[in-house]
Structure 1
Amino acid sequence: MVGAARAPRLLDEVRRVLRVKRYSMRTEHAYVGWIRRFVLANGKRHPRDMGAAEVEAFLSTLAVQGGVSPNTQNQALSALLFLYRQVLGVELPWLDGVVRAKRPQRVPTVLSREEVARVLAQMDGRPWLLASLLYGTGMRLMEVLRLRVKDVDFDRGEITVRDGKGGKDRHTMLPRKLVEPLRREIERATQMHAHDLAEGFGAVWLPHALARKYPGAAREPGWQYVFPSARRSRDPRDGTERRHHFDDAILSRSLKRACRQAGILKPVSAHTLRHSFATHLLEAGQDIRTVQELLGHKDVATTQIYTHVLNRGGLAVVSPLDRQ
């Protein structure tokens, strides 16, 4: 019973440190889950009584017996490093003994232009606008959902992506077809914000230290989400009642339903629309460096994966049969 009583206290401390350091709720859920699995896998021993050997064994088991992907294994490693470094104040030696999960060489799933049109034709309302933004701008799902009103520039025809992957800001285009729908969405978000203010609420969550640096910004219209949730809810981090952004699960269900109705048999997710955005730009002759900047890739090698899925057959080579 002693070990069972320790785990909740440890996890509460993990949550506290994660929230102090302003990690997202998604990261918090993931990290707490991995730390719990690590403790249970070692007979509920406290992590202070373990070290590099147990971490190496746990991560290797994930790869060898669990068959997890490299990304999943890296997430587990990040969670345990956070536990030891940030919570327990222990610096683990370099984990040379970890058996790394093999990264499979896969090309991304891409829809054709005609397939994208068929899918979007089956959608309407906010899911349609969100899916259209994913395909029309190349943004990641959470970048679209966390978009703030102030970062949509109608005059310049561009969208600023704040704190993207790797903590970088970047610009992408604002499709002309989405200008009016986005104007209406922002007007709706502004009205909801005014209603919240009138009821004594209206303070949106701000990232990192911005809430301390700009104490009044959370109530300003420009900082509100373009796609706010339909109702307010309590933030589990501090108990504050506020309006979060649109639920990604709603978009996921709508997208799957649209693909089914459109007769698309490929496995499609929100990220598939980003893949399609990049591939179709390259098909149209756009410079790969420009596509790299629009996607926010650190290395052009990441963007080059899309040159292998251009609509020109296997490996982008014309079959000799078609030359006869």
Structure 2
Amino acid sequence: MTAKTIINANQKGGVGKTTSTSFEAIIASLPNEEFNNKCLLIDFDKQANATSIMGKTFDKGFPSTVISAVRDNDLKGAIVELTPNLHMIAGGGDMAKYGLYLELLYPFKNDTPQHVAEVTKQRTFHFSKMLDPLRDLYDYIWIDVGPSTDIKVDNAMVCADYFVIPQETKTYSFEGSLDIINVYLQTLIDDFGEDFKGEVLGLLPFLLQPKRDLHESIIAQTKEAFGENFTFNAIVNNQKRIDDYPEYGISVIDHHDRKVFALFADIFKELEERIELFESLGDIPENYTYKPRYLNGNKLTDSSRKLDLSTFKPKAGA
């Protein structure tokens, strides 16, 4: 197997990147027959929010961060098993020093355009080269990135095969989606050509406040700008449980939690369908529509009730 590497990307913070990344990795790794993938989650954000929520969810500690592993030239040594199918490399505040580390590792020795371009590429693709030996160990790799566009984020972005753009249904977030696709990703294409291989699978709407007409308007603008086929079927609603997970970890207490898992089960299955379309047709057909299997409207389906969520049930006495 060769892992498909996925990044939920947006230059704006607080739009659902870490929530999407964490749940997509969890769902993909569930032991149910329709999932059951070997997955690796890498926290490449100095805020380390994915590390925090996964640590609380699985009651795990992380002896090493991704940057300390990079400095030790040993990513494998930093991998922590959360479940047999889901592994993680933690993030940490030392990510802030990664740019300086790359500058010292690959210094500019002269200012000729050719040399500058060569060193810039070495700096940008340093982590991607380190990640290569792990790609054959997993079906999927998720990288959680911060909301910036610097050499640290560039190092993660060039690893990706596919991007999902979580978009809060607000005007500024819509403009941010336009910017990340038309400016930031295009800059990476211009700079590195065929060495940058990432494709945008689509935009995933996040409705983070009570529903208003503006949200419907933003979704309509999104579909008009990018096409209905590039907008995910699901809309992630502002459910109180999603707000609580970062504080307490992800758990399944009642049907509200099951709805969150069902929602992201559909998101992951749509993600898989979109990848299959890209790999078979080279694009997402204009008439593509995902048909939900796990959450039909607001109702759980029989398929969702069969999801093995035993790992996420609160332990006795907790």
Flag whether TM exceeds 0.5 (same fold): no
TM-score after normalising by structure 2:
0.24
| More strand, by proportion | 2
Of the two structures, which has the highest relative contact order with CA contacts closer than 8 Å and spacing of 6 or more? 2
Scaled by the length of structure 1, what TM-score is found?
0.24
Question: Which structure is larger by alpha-carbon Rg, 1 or 2?
Answer: 1
